[in-house]
Structure 1
Amino acid sequence: MSLYLHPFPHHHHAPDGLQALPYTRNGVRQLPAGTFLKKEYPTFKELYVTRHFGGSCRGICGLLPSAAFLDGTVKPHEQTLNSRLARQRELIIGDGGALAKPILLLVPSLKDWWADTPEATGNPVRFAGIDNDYVLQDWAPEGPIRPVPLPPDQTICIADGHHRAESHARLASGQGPESPFYWLPVVIMGADEVRVDTFLRIIEPPDWSPAELLDKLRPFFSIEPVARPRPPQQTGDWLLAYRCDFYHLSRREATDDTDSGWLNATVLPAVFGITDTRSDERISSVYHKASPDGPVLFPEGVEGKIILRGFPLPEAQFFREIAANRCLPPKSTRFEPRVPSGLLVWIP
């Protein structure tokens, strides 16, 4: 059965050409009147993104019922963090169901779908971000505005927004369309147009010397010291940084599991006693950009901590995990481009 994307009956967006989007981390309803422009007509939105490092992608924006995120129609791909879920629930309730940006969903490809649909109809809103340029425009099918079927027989999964989607959907459970939590704003893109990156794993170190840490890791990895922190070049490889020294790690054990899944199931419990990355405060995930050729640059405040960076999950393996209904550990992937908060806003 096809999943239908519904048009926005109304929507809000940032003014065209802003140099910086409104700060929405604490909600949108508390911002001054006029921060966003309200449009009172029904429409879908097209989001066109041009990357500064090359390439572009195109997404379709609209509304999906929250039930689609609970019944398995839209699949998660990674576990959520307990602390983030609690904060997100509190924020959504306090903001009356409003969301500052849509949930990013992926299908394997939208190219055939776009080929059979009309062009965007105008009213562009432009925003130049740090890494990407965005153009948000109205889009509508030919004829009257109506729900449109999404590509049949394609897996639909969450790429970014797991905590927003889960919190919203739980609040909407058992409620009808009149609930402020019933509809979720989404932007759907093809996985063949986005890029998968990874997070740094930051671990609070026990009182170990570098030699002691390496001894504990050797049952799981072959280890080679390196002069510079280069990003891993293939699945199974990791970069380790500790006390200003860098090491190339190669997994000894062949496995069908993902690198992040294997790390969580084997290395973290055995070496660090970390059995639940959803709640253990000794480990966190931080995104920091790295070019494929490196070197990896580390954020401030991680000096003296144990840092691991893996190889980004290949797209084919990503969809195999989704098809098998397996969820990756939290913060296993980071998809680019990100949808900026405050560009397209849903206020029920």
Structure 2
Amino acid sequence: MADLQPFRGVRPAEALGQTLCTPPYDVVSTAEARAYADGNPRSFFHVSRPEIGLPPGTDEHSEPVYAQGRRNLERFFAEGWLRQDDEACFYLYRQRMGAHVQTGVVALARVDEYDQGLIRKHELTRPDKEDDRTRHIDTLGGNDEPVFLTYRAVPSIGALMEEGMRSSPQYDFTTEDGIGHTFWRVNGSLNTRLTAAFHEVPMLYIADGHHRSAAASRVHSLRSQRGESGGHSRFLAVVFPHDQMRILAYNRVVKDLNGLSPEAFLARLGERFEVTRGQSKTQDRAHQFGMYLEGAWYQLTARPGSFGATPTEELDVSILQNNVLGALLGIRDPRKDERIQFVGGIRGTEELERLVDSGAWRVAFSLPPTSLEQLMTIADAGEIMPPKSTWFEPKLRSGLVLHLF
């Protein structure tokens, strides 16, 4: 049972929705966040990336940074840029990216459902990133960015969401990347009906936000140990039906060929793949990969027997990792190895060509996108995907609504 709860959201004044809201904290660097917020004291990056207001070179994981985020949040309240709703409710959040449209319910999910595996994960977390989000959330006293959840679509929930979108939205704007964002409050008895409808959903799945959910669990434990009451037993989430979700490829570039010449590397690849020169740069067929090397594109098709039969072993990111990145290029731990970089599919194969042609990277690989069904199957099996297996688009905008304890 998915136990989702309405809440008194903290939101921008309606005239400030587009001015205040920003991309998520983890898709930009400090320098990019500083440039984005330049000249805009209302930019939510002052809360989500508070190091931008401190001298350049400040350690973004130092105590003054977390304290600065809390001060900035208090300033946003004092200036009237953020306000808390009088009544608890759900919210609806629709995103439009070209022809693609997805709509989710903004709600509070239960930490203990995450702890018990009823909110299922498919990735491992990095301790340093988990530590950072734990300190950030604990110091702020709330969730400033939501976890991106999904569920197997239920028609009755879709009908209730359509009903909620008939009212006038609180925000409706298009951001600089061409993505439309529309946001509604859910009114009256529709909140009760949505709560009951989600009770029929057996499982929720983390699509994006593993570090934020892990941090929410740790903050709940810390605050409980300190004897603090409040809303830390729940965390902020946007919950989308699986049939509206869009996953793009998550591509890779590597700095060197691990001592192999291009000719030797191609020969070794031929032991595990059918290698064809000059085929398509992008791949949408399972177990096929594009490779850019020495100014040319190749198509790699995995040979039968080169991968296992478990849900994780059949993933294309696993096939590439086990047969190429690890076995031939010596990248055993892609989470830590500085010889590899991950490139979101939103940047296109032109970005792979640019990186390799610059001389900073030697070879690039384009992959088919992972499917939502694969993600849920792996999560249900209790297995873990390799790092950087999924790139969800569009990204949730930060600052549209917060949950304070």
TM over 0.5: yes
CA contact (8 A) 1:14 1:343 kept: no
Which range is displaced more, 53-62 or 21-30? Answer: 21-30
1:224 to 276, 290, 303: 276
Letter in structure 2 aligned against 1:29: R
Q: CA offset at residue 196 of structure 1?
A: 1.3
Partner secondary structure for residue 152 of structure 1: coil
* Alignment-derived partner of residue 259 in structure 1: 316
Q: Deviations over 1:280-321 (max 9, x none)?
A: 333232214267xxx644386553322212101233333222
Instruction: Give the 3-state SS of the residue equivalent to 1:69 in structure 2.
Output: helix
Instruction: Tell me the secondary structure at the aligned position of residue 289 of structure 1.
Output: helix
Pick closer, same or farther for the CA change 1:151–1:163 going to 2, 3 Å.
Answer: same
Q: Structure 1 residues 131, 235: closer, same or farther in 2, change over 3 A?
A: farther
Tell me what 2:158 maps to: 114
CA positional deviation for 1:213: 2.5
Matched, 1:276 2:276: no
Cα separation, partners in 2 of 1:290 and 1:234, compared to 1, 3 Å: farther
Structure 2 segments unaligned to the other structure (5+ residues): 22-42, 51-68
| Equivalent residue letter for 1:160 | D
**1:79 lines up with 2:133 in the alignment:** no
Q: Give 3-state SS (helix, strand or coil) of 2:143's partner.
A: coil
Counterpart contact for 1:13–1:38, Cα < 8 Å:
yes
Within-5 A mapping of 1:152-231: 152-173=200-221, 175-176=223-224, 178=229, 181-205=232-256, 206-226=258-278, 230-231=281-282
2:179 equivalent to 1:132: yes
Q: How many residues align?
A: 341
Q: Tell me the residue number matched to 1:59.
A: 104
What amino acid sits opposite 2:276 in the alignment?
E
In the alignment, the residues of structure 1 paired with residue 284 and residue 259 of structure 2 have an alpha-carbon distance, to the nearest angstrom, of 30
Instruction: Provide, for residues 115-146 of structure 1, a one-character-per-residue CA deviation record: whole Å limited to 9, x for no partner.
Output: 24642454511231214201111014517869
Offset at residue 276 of structure 1 (A): 2.2
Identity of paired residues, percent? 21
Q: Which runs of 5+ in 1 are unaligned?
A: none
1:92 maps to 2:148: no
Cα distance in 2 for partners of 1:66, 1:196 equals 26
Deviations 1:194-219 (A, max 9, x none): 21112111223135432232233222
8 Å CA contact 1:66, 1:184 repeated in 2? yes
What residue in structure 2 maps to residue 289 of structure 1? 346
Q: Is the 8 A contact 1:202 1:284 kept in 2?
A: yes
How far apart, in 1, do the equivalents of 2:232 and 2:18 lie? 29
Match of 2:54 in 1: none
Per-residue CA deviations over 1:179-205 (Å, capped at 9, x if unaligned) read: 564321001001101211121112231
Distance between the aligned counterparts of 2:13 and 2:154, measured in 1? 26
Relative to structure 1, the CA distance from residue 152 to residue 43 in structure 2 (aligned partners, 3 Å threshold; closer, same or farther) is same
* AA in 2 matched with 1:103: V
Q: Deviations over 1:15-43 (max 9, x none)?
A: 44525732424155343424742123222
**Which stretch shows the higher mean deviation, 117-126 or 65-74?**
117-126
> What is the distance in 1 between the residues matched to 2:2 and 2:203?
11
- 1:335 correspondence with 2:386: no
| Contact 2:137-2:219 within 8 A present in 1 as well | no
Name the aligned partner's letter for residue 158 of structure 1.
I
Please give the residue correspondences for 1:26-37 in structure 2 after superposition, counting only pairs within 5 Å.
Answer: 26-27=49-50, 29-31=70-72, 32-33=75-76, 34=79, 36-37=81-82
Letter in 2 for 1:235: A
- Does the residue aligned with 1:246 lie in a helix, a strand or coil? strand
**Offset of 1:279 from its aligned partner?**
2.7
- Map residues 232-251 of structure 1 onto 2, 5 A cutoff: 232-251=283-302
For residues 143 and 105 of structure 1, the distance between their equivalents in structure 2, rounded to whole angstroms, comes to 21
Q: Please, what is the CA RMSD of the aligned residues?
A: 2.9
Secondary structure in 1 aligned to 2:99?
coil
What does residue 45 of structure 1 align with?
91
Secondary structure in structure 2 of the residue aligned to 1:7: coil
